[in-house]
Chain A
């Protein structure tokens, strides 16, 4: 009788022990340090994405896509509203940098259908906007390399390549002239005028008069 009682006592103690272990673990959960959440991508991925230059799109490529009316592209001007109203690229929408993570703009950025091309005067602000987007894992963002400054000096006002330049340089120049015409600027005339003014008229080709056939020697016996 007494052994049975002791055995029961021992068992209840064991239950108590196990129960206390569980309670201790539960208390431990409360005491655990607050887990720091990393919103967006990991630092390693962030740096890897930044290291690649893929985000930059040149003004020539952009012009090409605009002329071809690429429907999968949205231009986003990240400058201030004031600057946007003064001048912007055709078809661009304005998202000032400070509004970049607003509720209205996020749906534009966080999608997989459209390519978003960010631009500003230089590419500084646009690059910053891209970096913020990269942090959040948006992967359809691009940056116009050189920004509007570059756009003006290449598309709207291209410089004539030196005569020693290769064929590609001239092809590119022709493309830029045509693009400028598309955007309503007569660069073509601008380029041809100084040529004339420089008083170096192109030498007219002198087509040599066709040689007369030698007359068959006349006479004879």
Chain B
């Protein structure tokens, strides 16, 4: 009898043990997407700038690339590059998008992203890169919708528009120069004095009855 009680207890605890395991397995949630690249890897790739693709490089073997427009649907519908597909940033994590990108990868092609300017596109690129789409490229162009056609121009990365130091110095020296020139100019265009026309005095009504 003693033995029986012992086995009962053991089997009950065994059942509870298994139950806990089953519950743990059921509640385990696997995240839908995971960044496969670490932040260090991403930073390295970012610094190397291998993902930037010039227009000429793209044209050389455009058959290996699939153009992806990252602007929103409205702009995409107005005009886009030929054969481009539309994947705005907000749709990147949709299942259909990921499936589509995987099929592109399986075909041995790599997606080439473009948008209004590379600075916007780079966020889409970084999302895709971290998700594991390593072959993704960014086309170094800026685009603009104008009268329902897309105007494409080359983008020079992080180019300083002016030599900052020089411009700053010239702006600072401008102050003194202009003070001098201003005086000269002022002499030339001396304000013309506008003499107010003398008003005629109203004749005083003369007396009389």
Contacts and interface: CB of A to CB of B under 8 A. Distances in A.
Given A87-B165, A121-B158, A206 B196 contact: yes
Contact of A50 (B35, B89, B181): B89
Interface in A206-221: 206, 208-209, 211-212, 214-215, 217-221
B202 A42 contact: no
B182 interface: yes
Nearest to B209: A221
Interface in B11-43: 14, 21, 31-36, 38-40, 42-43
Given A25-B21, A196-B186, A43 B205 contact: no
A152 B161 contact: yes
Contacts of B36: 36
A21 B33 CA distance: 33
A79 B130 CA distance: 23
A206 B194 contact: yes
A184 interface: yes
Interface string B144-171: 0000000000000111111011011001
Contacts of A152: 161-162, 164, 167
Contact of A100 (B43, B194, B201, B204): B43
Contacts of A123: 119
B105 interface: no
A13 B33 CA distance: 46
B39 A185 contact: no
Interface stretch (A58-66, A125-133, A165-173): A125-133
A190 B161 contact: no
B175 A208 contact: no
Given A36-B34, A122-B158, A190 B171 contact: yes
A156 B167 contact: yes
B112 interface: no
Contacts of A197: 181, 185
Contacts of B179: 189
A199 B191 CA distance: 11
Interface of B: 3, 7, 10, 14, 21, 31-36, 38-40, 42-43, 46-47, 89-90, 92-93, 118-119, 122-123, 126-127, 130-131, 157-162, 164-165, 167-168, 171-172, 174-175, 178-179, 181-182, 185-186, 189, 191-194, 196, 199, 201-202, 204-209
Given A18-B10, A122-B158, 6 more contacts: A15-B10, A39-B38, A42-B31, A135-B126, A152-B162, A218-B207
Interface of A: 7-8, 11, 14-15, 18, 21, 25, 36, 38-40, 42-44, 46-47, 50-51, 79, 83, 86-87, 97-98, 100-101, 120-125, 127-128, 131-132, 135-136, 147-149, 152-153, 156-157, 184-187, 189-190, 192-193, 196-197, 199, 201, 204, 206, 208-209, 211-212, 214-215, 217-221
14 contacts: A11-B3, A15-B10, A44-B33, A47-B127, A87-B168, A125-B158, A148-B164, A185-B171, A193-B182, A197-B181, A206-B194, A209-B196, A215-B204, A217-B207
